[in-house]
Amino acid sequence: MKTLTKITFFTAFCMLFSAYQLSAQAIVLNAPEPADNPNLSGSTPWTAVCAGNSGFNEYFVNITWIGTANAGNEFILELSDATGSFANAQTLQTISDKNTVKDFDTSFAIPTDTRGEGYKMRVRSTDPEKIGNESPAYNMYYMDVTSNLNISEQGDGVPPGTVCSTGPITLQVDNISNPETYQYIWFRSGTELTGETGHTLNVTQSGMYNVYIDYGPRCTGSGNTDSNIVDVTIGGSGTGIAVTAPSKTALCSTDSETLTIDQTDASWSYQWFKNDVAILGATATSYTVDASVAGFEGDYAIEISGTGICNERSSAITITNADVYTVDVENEINMVLLPTQSQTLSVSTTANTPSYKWFRNGIEIAGETNSAITISQDGEYYAEVTQTGGSCSVSSKNSDVTTVVSPASFEMTINYTNAYTSCESTSTILGVEQINAVATDGTKTDVTSALVDGFTYQWTKDGTAVSGATSSTISLASNAENGTYDLNASVDSFTVDSNSLNVQLLTSETISIASSGTVFCSGGET
C-alpha cells in the first residue's frame, strides 16, 4: 500500500511537471524533413535539391510541432548558408494558416545562388518566438547552366577535337557567361584530376580531356554539362626549329633583312607569321623583311606542319625600326591670324642631329631652317625634319600640317563699363566689351585682348560722330550728352559697327510748384 502510494504520487508529479514544462515552452518545433512532391509522379521524398534543370525549382518538406501557437503566429522555414550557419539565414517560406495543424507539408524554392553540400533548414515561430531544431546537411544546387560545355585551346568556341603541341597548352571553358564563377570537375582519359576546379586547365600530359560543372556528388550527373572531348598530344616529334639569327634586327628605311629557318625537311610545309598573324603567301623556308614598307616592325616566327608531326612554331625574332623618331607640332593645328598680329609655329623632334625646312602651301620658305618660325600670312604650314646622325642618317619626316586662316569679318560689342541706371546715374563710361573674329564658316573667336589696341575707333551719338572720341572708351557726365551711342572701328581692310547703347543721365534742374493759396473752400473758389 505504501509502495502504490509512492508510485501514484510520483506519476502525478511527473504529469504535473510535464504539463508545466509544456506550458512554459508553449511550442516545440521539430527539424523539417524532406517530403514527396505531390505535383510529380512517384512518392519518394527528395534526398538532395538539384534545382534549375529546365526551370524546375519546387520542393516540399514536412513540418511537425507540439504545443500551442497564438493566433497571429507564423511558421518561417529558413535556409542556412553552404556551411550550415544560420547567421544570415534566408527565408524559404512563411506559413500563417497552420497554427492548429501539428503535421503539414509546405513547398519552397531555393535561391538561384545556392551551391554547396552543407545547407541546413530549420523552422522558427513568431508568436511565441521559438527556433526549432536544425535539419541534417543536404546537397543543394541551383543549376543555372544545364547544357553542354565547350572547351578549346584558343577560347574561340570552336571544339578542336585534337590538339598537337610540343609544349604545355591551356584548355578553357568558353561558351558560358562568367565561367570563373563556377567550380569544375576535369577528367583526363576518364580519370578525375583532383584539385583542378577552375575554368581553365594547364595541360602538360597527353590524353583525352573533358570537363563538367561541379554541382556536387548528387546533382552533377543531372546537370547535363559534360563537355566535348579534346584529344591532346604533348611532345610528339618536335624538332626544336628556330629562325637563324639575322645580321641585324634594327633596320633603316633603306634596309632589308632575310630571315631563314635553321633546318628544313622536304616533307614539311612552312608558314611565316608576323605578330602571331599568318603572312599571306609567306610559305617558303625564308622571308625578307623590307624596311621601306610602312609598318614592317614586328615579331616574326615560322611554323612547320606535316604528316606525323605536331605543328611547331619557332620563337619570334623582333625586328625594329632604327628610323623611328617623332616630330611633334607644339602649336595648335588650326590657328587664326589676326590683322597686325603674327604667330609662331614650332616643332619638337627626337631625331638624331636634326635639320629643318619649313613649307607654306607646299612651297619651301627660303631661309627658315630652325625648329620655329614666325608667320604673318595665312596658309598651310609644315616642317620637314631630317635626321642626319645615328645609324640611319639622312632620313626625313614631315610634321602634321598647321592650317592658319584670316578671319572673314569681325564683330564688336560695347557696354557700360561701370554701374549705370537710366535716369538715376549722373555719369557713365562706355567701352569695348568684346571683339570676335568670325571665320568663313561662322565660327567665332574672342580676340579682344589681342586686338583691342589695334583698331582705330570713332564714337557716334545719334548717328553723328563725336568730336575727339577716338579711343576704345568714352566718358559721359552731362545730361546734355544723353542720346544713343555706337562705335565704328577699323583695322587693315576690316570695318565693324558695334551695337547701340542708350544713355539717359539724371538732369540737374530743380522743379518747384507755385500756388495762389494753400486753403481750398467749396463753392466755386479756384
Closest to 61 (Cα-Cα) out of 109, 101, 114 = 109
**What are the residue ranges spanned by the domains of the chain?**
25-142, 151-234, 250-321, 327-405, 409-503
Q: What is the average per-residue pLDDT within 42-66?
A: 91
What residues have CB less than 8 Å from 47, skipping those under 6 apart?
34, 138, 218
pLDDT over 90, % of the chain: 68
Instruction: Please tell me the predicted confidence (pLDDT) of residue 508.
Output: 67
Return contacts of 56-59, CB within 8 angstroms, 24+ apart: 57/109, 57/110, 57/142, 58/107, 58/109, 59/34, 59/107, 59/108, 59/109, 59/110
What residues have CB less than 8 Å from 106, skipping those under 6 apart?
60, 61, 63, 77, 93, 95, 98
Is pTM beyond 0.85? Reply is no
Cβ 164 vs Cβ 311: under 8 Å: yes
The CATH number of 327-405 is 2.60.40.10
Q: What is the mean pLDDT of the chain?
A: 89
Closest to 84 (Cα-Cα) out of 148, 146, 137 = 137
Instruction: Please tell me the predicted confidence (pLDDT) of residue 74.
Output: 97
Q: What is the average per-residue pLDDT within 458-478?
A: 95
Q: Over 80: is that where the pLDDT of 18 sits?
A: no
CA 300 to chain centre: 33
Q: How far apart, in whole angstroms, are the C-alpha atoms of residue 141 and residue 161?
A: 31
Q: Over 90: is that where the pLDDT of 25 sits?
A: no
Question: Which amino acid appears at position 330 of this protein?
Answer: E
Least confident of 186-195, 361-370, 426-435, 508-517: 508-517
Q: Do 327-405 and 25-142 have the same topology in CATH?
A: yes
Q: Starting at the edge strand that comes first in sequence, how are the strands of the sheet with 184-188 ordered?
A: 162-165, 230-234, 207-213, 184-188, 191-192
Burial 342-376 (b: 16+ CB within 10 A, else e): ebebbbebebeebebbbbbeeeebeebeebebebe
Strand partners, 259: 287
**What is the four-CA torsion angle of 88, 90, 96, 97, rounded to 10 degrees?**
-140
Rounded to a whole number of angstroms, the CA Rg of the chain reads 47
**CA within 13 Å, CB half, 183:** 14
Q: Over 60: is that where the pLDDT of 34 sits?
A: yes
- Which CATH number does the domain 25-142 belong to among 3.20.20.70, 3.30.420.40, 3.60.10.10, 2.60.40.2060? 2.60.40.2060
Q: Report the SS3 class of residue 18.
A: helix
The CATH number of 409-503 is 2.60.40.10
Q: Over 80: is that where the pLDDT of 140 sits?
A: yes
pLDDT tens for each residue of 402-420? 998 889 999 999 999 999 9
- DSSP per-residue letters across 253-314: TT-EEEEEBS---TT-EEEEEETTEEPTT--SSEEEEETTSTT--EEEEEEEE-TTS--EEP
Q: Over 90: is that where the pLDDT of 197 sits?
A: yes
Spell out where 350-465 has E strands: 354-360, 363-364, 372-375, 379-387, 395-398, 402-405, 409-416, 428-438, 444-446, 456-461, 464-465
Q: How far apart, in whole angstroms, are the C-alpha atoms of residue 147 and residue 132?
A: 39
Question: Which amino acid appears at position 484 of this protein?
Answer: T
Question: Cell 570563373 belongs to which residue?
Answer: 180
Instruction: Please tell me the predicted confidence (pLDDT) of residue 19.
Output: 39
Query: Is the bond into 128 cis (omega within 30 degrees of 0)?
Result: yes
pLDDT tens for each residue of 257-267? 999 999 999 99
pLDDT tens for each residue of 213-263? 999 999 998 889 999 999 988 765 556 889 999 999 989 888 899 999 999
Instruction: Please tell me the predicted confidence (pLDDT) of residue 490.
Output: 95
Closest to 53 (Cα-Cα) out of 184, 142, 173 = 142
Domain 250-321: which CATH class? mainly beta
∠ CA 98-104-106, rounded to 5°: 90
Q: What is the average per-residue pLDDT within 505-515?
A: 80
| Record: fold of 151-234 | Immunoglobulin-like (2.60.40)
Task: State the CB neighbour count (10 A cutoff) for residue 492.
Answer: 11
